[in-house]
Amino acid sequence: MPHEVTMPQLGMAQDAGKIVSWLKAPGDKVAKGDALFEVETDKATMEVEAQASGFLTHVRAQAGEDVPVGQAIARISESAEEDEAPAPSATAGPAPDDALPEGREITMPQLGMAQDSGVIVGWLVEPGAQVGADDLLFEVETDKATMEVPAGASGYLAATLAESGDDVPVGQAVAIISAEKPERPVTRAMAKGAPAPAPEPEASSSPDHEAAEKPAVPPVATPASGRILASPKLRRVALEMGLDLEQLVKAGHPQPYHMRDLGALEKLSASAPEVARQAVAQGFRLEATTAQDGFAPFAASVADTLGDAEALLAGLAGASMGAPCVVAVERFGAQRTFAVPEGRRLSAVTESDAAPDLLLRDLRASALCSVSLGAVDVPVLTLLRKGDGLSLTLEAAPHHMAAAQAIALLSEFAGRMENPLRHLL
């Protein structure tokens, strides 16, 4: 199935990007993860990776062009000679009395390099209301974060093209903002392109009714790493309530999990033993030490070629956890977040606005010799100095990762900090 290549949103304030160069030519074979093109924003120049395998076709934007976020610029097809498919018409399908108004289309943003869709959590503006470019328009949930998305244009919310619970592909239109106040705003569900149903009266809580109301979400298999895919918001709420996401896995609920799965999790966990629920809330703590600190001299030697030390730390930690992932590095009270791609290229680690999968506290410059602060929304790795070597502590909850994965993460990271060159092997 062809995959549309869209201009990614590399920052929340970004509304366009300039194509610096294509790294693949039309007709070239590409694999998922290959560097596809370079894009320049007002903050950085980055390589954008292919999100599917196939052949690069239908290149619609050339080097030097400014392209709005979410606009299709190429396609990855099953063959190098695939014919151009007819462009979808925004007004095709619905009856004339429900035609879409004219105006600027607001698309589902790409909030992370690996994101291909987002779930509409809710609209923050009523249809027909006036909005400013910086006003928050809707809330979207991915498997990494729940974020509020600004309108990006001033005018009136003339149409909403998806409703709460709809899983919308990146780049697909979710709203239209018009210059003139609409007489009758259009509201639609994403799945069928039909008007959204009117609100129903409070219904019974029978299992059949709940199953009918739950939005259809394609099942996602559990990753080979064993990591449970769930939004940070659900992870946080589950941790506060002492609920174990593993219960959803055992019951066969499709991943990734979002806040809409909380009710099912509560029912499943109600029958779980009290000891198990207490274990979820308490979490666990692992420690490791290294005989020497190999990272400091390594970071100094590659500073001119691989960037700053915090990006390197994030790259080594992310590779130990199982990239791609997002790692936040906390140092001297400040925090920076980095996206760590697949592979071992430390030069490909870039700053990110996404919610982290792992928090790395770098306390080597402090006088502390031990920590026990507990996990937060995500696992926490703490780095301390110990003699000529390092002390590493991993704090996490069972729903963050399995014990075997935690042991592997800490062991791998300790090895990389002692001898960073092993990362390149």
Residue 279 is predicted with a pLDDT of 45
- CA angle at 299 for the pair 298 and 304, rounded to the nearest 5°: 115
Q: At 308, list the tokens.
A: 């700053």
Residue 378 is predicted with a pLDDT of 84
Residues ≥6 apart with Cβ < 8 Å to 21: 37, 38, 63
CA distance linking residue 118 with residue 169, whole number of Å: 7
Which residue ranges does the chain devote to CATH 3.30.559.10? 284-424
Average pLDDT over residues 121-144: 84
CA distance linking residue 349 with residue 344, whole number of Å: 10
More confident residue, 116 or 413: 413
Residues ≥6 apart with Cβ < 8 Å to 218: 167, 254
Q: Which CATH architecture has domain 3-77?
A: Beta Barrel (2.40)
Q: Which residues pair with 29 in a beta bridge?
A: 55
CB-based contact 347:307 (threshold 8 Å): yes
- The per-residue pLDDT for range 47-87, each reduced to its tens digit, is 888 888 899 998 888 888 888 877 788 888 888 775 544 44
- The per-residue pLDDT for range 4-17, each reduced to its tens digit, is 888 876 665 566 78
Residue 275 is predicted with a pLDDT of 43
Length of the chain in terms of residues written? 425
Task: Provide the pLDDT confidence category of residue 219 given band limits of 50, 70 and 90.
Answer: very low
Among 243-247, 356-360, 411-415, the least confident range: 243-247
More confident residue, 203 or 45: 45
CA distance linking residue 259 with residue 230, whole number of Å: 9
Residue 261 is predicted with a pLDDT of 83
Most confident region among 250-264, 330-344, 366-380 by mean pLDDT: 330-344
Residue 178 is predicted with a pLDDT of 93
Residue 310 has pLDDT above 60, yes or no: yes
CB-based contact 46:14 (threshold 8 Å): no
Which residue ranges does the chain devote to CATH 2.40.50.100? 3-77, 96-187
Max CA separation in the chain (angstroms) = 76
Query: With respect to CATH, is domain 284-424 assigned 3.90.1150.10?
Result: no
- Please give the mean pLDDT across all residues of the chain: 77
Query: With respect to CATH, is domain 96-187 assigned 3.30.530.20?
Result: no
Among 233-247, 296-310, 339-353, the least confident range: 233-247
Residue 92 is predicted with a pLDDT of 40
Average pLDDT over residues 296-302: 89
Q: Is 80 helix (H, G, I), strand (E, B) or coil?
A: coil
Average pLDDT over residues 373-397: 86
Write out the DSSP string of 370-418: -------SS-EEEEEEETTEEEEEEEE-TTT--HHHHHHHHHHHHHHHH
Looking up tokens 């770098």 gives 362
Instruction: Count Cα atoms within 13 angstroms, Cβ side, for 20.
Output: 14
Residue 187 has pLDDT above 80, yes or no: yes
- CA angle at 200 for the pair 199 and 205, rounded to the nearest 5°: 130
Residue 45 has pLDDT above 90, yes or no: no
